[in-house]
Amino acid sequence: MIDLHVHTSRCGHAEGAVAEYAAAAAAAGVRTMAFCDHLPLPAGYPSGYAMAWRELPDYVSEVRALAAECVTSGGPEVLLGVEADWIPRHEGMVAEALDAYPFDIVLGSVHFIDDWAFDDPDLRARYAEWTPDRLWKRYFDDLSRACASGLFDVMAHPDLVKKFGDRPAHGLRVWYEATADAFASAGVAVEVNSAGLRKPCAEIYPALGLLRACRAAGVPATTGSDAHTPADVGRDLSAARHLLREAGYDSIMVFRGRVAEEVGL
């Protein structure tokens, strides 16, 4: 199993230290894992969504030390990654942070619509300000702009906007095809993220329709649990693999030093 999306307690809304995640990965049969904790946010954003800037160097050295330790101990392969928010007008800041460290993999995410963290259950009331059609248009437009930024290797949980179950009654295919084309033009991979199964939408990110569109457009894929607690490392990745096969994939990508390498499903 390959789990390229695992957090740590540093982000402020997860629990567990890196060594606990590696032990859980070994127990779950994960052979390659990537820590992709949340890159710090620009000044002015609330705390609790990402690690603080002062923590970033420690995060990097901690994961690298664990990676070296796992090589000698025969533990899972540990990769250094990060999950970075796409925030308009802050692309330069993100690029600088990504260049400063030897990341293996960079996940790109849209968690914010303007200042609204739309995936935060505490801010769910703000869905009332949007119709599903307007929200989906805005989200997928932002996601297309995000992937075109050139900052990211993989687009994480690509239909996160469905998290609480609100979705347009029809016309999803238009968004799926446009998104898959945008991913293909940008040369990014799509993440098949099992965390959606643990959320109100009760569905892997992305939906089969979007994954099929990605496959048709030639977009490579990765798998991740998005674990925010050690017990979730590797969780439901067999369902992720099943969905990938259903969409026509027979391989996924692992990133090392930000270079993709294909591995069979």
Residues that bind Zn ion (CB under 5 A): 109
Q: 109 or 225, CB closer to Zn ion?
A: 109
Least separation in angstroms between residue 151's CB and Zn ion is 15
Residue facing Zn ion at closest CB distance = 109
Give the nearest distance from C-beta 38 to Zn ion in angstroms: 6
Q: Nearer Cβ to Zn ion, position 109 or 223? A: 109
Q: Are 82 and 51 in contact (CB under 8 A)?
A: no
**Nearest distance from C-beta of residue 47 to Zn ion, angstroms:** 13
**Strands of 105-109's sheet in order across:** 2-6, 32-38, 77-85, 105-109, 154-155, 189-193, 221-224
- Cβ closest to Zn ion, residue 32 vs residue 109: 109
Q: Pairing state of beta strands 112-113 and 116-117?
A: antiparallel
**CB closer to Zn ion out of 1 and 50:** 50
Helix (H, G, I), strand (E, B) or coil at 215: helix
Sign of CA dihedral 59, 157, 214, 34: positive
Which lies closer to Zn ion via its Cβ, residue 37 or residue 77?
37
Min CB(109)–Zn ion separation in Å: 4
For the CB of residue 71, give the shortest distance to Zn ion in the complex, in Å: 27
Q: How many CB atoms lie within 10 A of CB 20?
A: 16
